[in-house]
Amino acid sequence: MTNTADRVSVPLRSNRDFGLLWVSAAFSFLGTRATALVYPMLVLWNGGSTTLAGLAGFAALLPQLVIQLPAGAYVDRWDRRRLMLVCEWGSLLALGSLAAAVLTDRLWLPHLFAVAFIEGSLMVFYQLAERAAVPQLVAPDQLGAAYSQNEARTRGAALLGQPIGTSLFALGNALPLVFGAAVRLVSIGTLWGIRTRFQEKRRDAPAPDVRAEISAGLSWVWRQRFLRAVMLVMALTNMLFQMLTFAMLPLFHDEGRSEALVGVVLACSSLGGLIGALTAAAWMRRWSLRRILLAGTGVWAVVTTAIAFAPDVVSMGVLFAASGYVGGVFNVPAIVYVMRITPPDMQGRVGSVASMVAFGGMAFGWAAAGPLLTVVAPRTGIAVIGATLALVALAAAISPAIRRAHGTAETKPLG
């Protein structure tokens, strides 16, 4: 097995194992993004209520909240490559079972909710293992470039996955599920080809005390005031963005627009995010993480409010692209910051805590959006979301933990 030290002078484009990991995750994320909207669309387009559709999205994102902490502890203990392979096989089987139910006209809501939760749970394990494996495959001074490429990959997968999923859904409700299962085979094949260990070999490690290891991760994060504040801001903004995403479904449904078109508009956010990720390194050389965060939340508030009044899908797409660009720029320095300040043997746990707080709110976004949109029209709901984002931006600007941060990693460019 090759170790990290052997790769100090290897450019990323020539790093075989990093390239294989990148491809594996690209196909895995492509499949996940293709099916992300399918769960609520299966409910909504088959006569279900917005509340039930919101619960379907909630089931898919709930693992971000309840699975992250134990997953982080096990990612630091288990063989990460083997774990990722198990996750891919599990997703393939779960999606295949739901596709079979749709094709035979035996769709059952508890089955749909279960598959959504299972796929979301396996993706949590996969994503944490993949992110924690990167420092083992590249040199320390390549982390910024590596995570920038990974963020671009994730955005690219969303850019392609959402319109693929909604377009296939328009042709046949089961097709995006079949697609999501099929691409897992490519991901599995590339994972098998990786030679480098995904973590340092642990000698005589005792059986894991999951509760103690989770507690250690939580305690470490709690001591980082700036990180705590940033994660809270991201939790709120991610929740609101999921509410915005869900609001687009009844908006397009009520206005008689096609299923495929909603995926195209939402994919504009991924296009903006892809461009943002590719330019993130330049921003990191000029702006600190704190400055990027404060500017970004302000832009999000303005853009989201404007979406409520956008007259056509073209202007909606442009606004979604602008919002996605900010997210793509922010995510790269945020990940680099967390990885740089975290001890190597705690990266899985700390990553899981950060992901749980920052992304756990996404599930509540879907749960809250359904009832909201039974009370107000979709465009009114989007305006409410924009106003709430403005309050979050103001709170971030006056937060003592963010405003008074004085560490080099927080107040100086990371690039």
Tell me the pLDDT tens digit for each residue of 302-312: 999 999 999 88
Contact 246, 376 (CB under 8 A): no
Taking residue 401's Cβ as centre, other Cβ atoms within 10 Å add up to 16
Domain spans in the chain, listed from the N-terminal domain onward: 4-199+211-411
- Model confidence at 244, pLDDT cuts 50, 70, 90, reads very high
The three-state secondary structure class of 37 is coil
- Give residue 317's pLDDT: 94
Share of the chain above pLDDT 90, in %: 37
- Which range, 11-20, 25-34, 266-275, 352-361, is most confident? 25-34
Q: Give the span between the Cα atoms of 9 and 32, in whole angstroms.
A: 34
Separation CA 241–CA 307 (nearest Å):
12
* Residues 250 and 236: beta-carbon distance below 8 Å: no
- Per-residue H/E/C for 249-273: HHHHHHCCCCHHHHHHHHHHHHHHH
Per residue in 179-197, pLDDT (tens digit) is: 999 999 999 999 998 877 7
Q: What is the crossing angle of helices 313-341 and 143-171, to 10°?
A: 140
| 204 vs 67, more confident | 67
Tell me how far apart the alpha carbons of residues 206 and 211 are, in angstroms, rounded to a whole number: 14
DSSP one-letter string for 88-121: HHHHHHHHHHHHHHHHTT---HHHHHHHHHHHHH
The whole-angstrom separation of Cα 73 and Cα 89 is 21
Residue 358: is its pLDDT beyond 50? yes
Whole-number pLDDT of residue 4:
44
Unique residue bearing structure tokens 């100090």: 8
Q: What gap in Å lies between CA 157 and CA 146, rounded to an integer?
A: 16
Residue 355 to residue 231: CA distance in whole angstroms: 8
Checking if the pLDDT of 326 tops 90, the result is yes
What integer pLDDT is reported at residue 207 of this predicted model?
57
Residue type, 328: G
Is 170:260 a contact under the CB 8 Å cutoff? yes
pLDDT, greater one: 96 or 340: 96
| CATH architecture for segment(s) 4-199+211-411 | Up-down Bundle (1.20)
pTM of the predicted structure, to 2 decimals: 0.73
Q: Determine the Cα–Cα distance for residues 38 and 77; give it in Å rounded to an integer.
A: 34
Q: φ, ψ for residue 193 (rounded to 5)? A: -85, -5
What is the pLDDT averaged over residues 143-153? 81
CB contact at 8 A, 410 and 301: no
